[in-house]
A and B are shown apart, each in its own frame.
Chain A
Amino acid sequence: EDQVTQSPEALRLQEGESSSLNCSYTVSGLRGLFWYRQDPGKGPEFLFTLYSAGEEKEKERLKATLTKKESFLHITAPKPEDSATYLCAVQAGRAGNQFYFGTGTSLTVIP
Chain B
Amino acid sequence: GAGVSQSPRYKVAKRGQDVALRCDPISGHVSLFWYQQALGQGPEFLTYFQNEAQLDKSGLPSDRFFAERPEGSVSTLKIQRTQQEDSAVYLCASSSPVGGGGGEQYFGPGTRLTVT
Q: Do these two chains interact?
A: yes
Partner of B45, one of A43, A44, A46, A99: A99
- Whether A46 lies near B44 (C-beta < 8 A) is no
Partner of B102, one of A44, A46, A96, A103: A96
- Whether B41 lies near A95 (C-beta < 8 A) is no
Given contacts A31-B102, A43-B107, contact A95 B55 (CB under 8 A): yes
Find the A residue at minimum CB distance from B97: A96
CB neighbours of B102 from chain A (8 A): 31-32, 91, 96-97, 99
B100 is an interface residue with CB less than 8 A from chain A: yes
- Whether B109 lies near A97 (C-beta < 8 A) is no
Q: Which of A31, A46, A97 has the most CB of B within 10 A?
A: A97
Nearest 7 CB-CB pairings of A with B:
A97-B101, A43-B107, A101-B42, A96-B102, A97-B48, A46-B104, A44-B107
